[in-house]
Amino acid sequence: MLLSSYVKAETEPNDLWDQANPIILGVSESGIATAGGDIDWYRVEIPEDGQLTLNWTSNNSQLVYCQIYDTLGVELFASNYTWARAHLFLRTD
């Protein structure tokens, strides 16, 4: 998920891993985090080894966090909760 001039809105339902919205590399995604434990899933296919850069921001003071899993469901990364802006640089080799 990289910042760009094009922003694609999330599609509901995406509350479960098998409903994950696809992310196109180089395109920003936007979603709405509602109070009460809203969970949104996204998926990205990385065509080659390299670096995946993620940026996420809470624009409505909701606490948000990010978890990244591989295709086997193994957690690769888990952020802390934030109501501001966060960045992640993940090697994919």
Q: What is the pLDDT of residue 3?
A: 36
Q: Has residue 2 been placed in a domain?
A: no
Taking residues 16-38, what's their average pLDDT? 84
Quote the CA–CA distance of 59 and 15 in Å, as a whole number. 20
Assigned domain for 1 exists: no
DSSP notation for 62-73: --B--EEE-TTS
Residue 40 lies in a domain: yes
Domain assignment present for 16: yes
Query: Residue 35: CB partners within 8 Å, gap ≥ 6?
Result: 62
Q: Which of 38, 51, 2 is nearest to 23 (CA)?
A: 2
Between 14 and 27, the higher pLDDT residue:
14
pLDDT band at 4 (very low <50, low <70, confident <90, very high): very low
Full-model pTM: 0.78
> Does 81 have pLDDT greater than 60?
yes
Range of the domain at 14: 7-91
Confidence of residue 16 (pLDDT cuts 50, 70, 90): very high
For tokens 């966090």, the residue is 65
Domain count, the chain: 1
Residue environment code for 69-86, b if the CB has 16+ CB neighbours within 10 A, otherwise e = eeeeeeeeeeeeeeeeeb
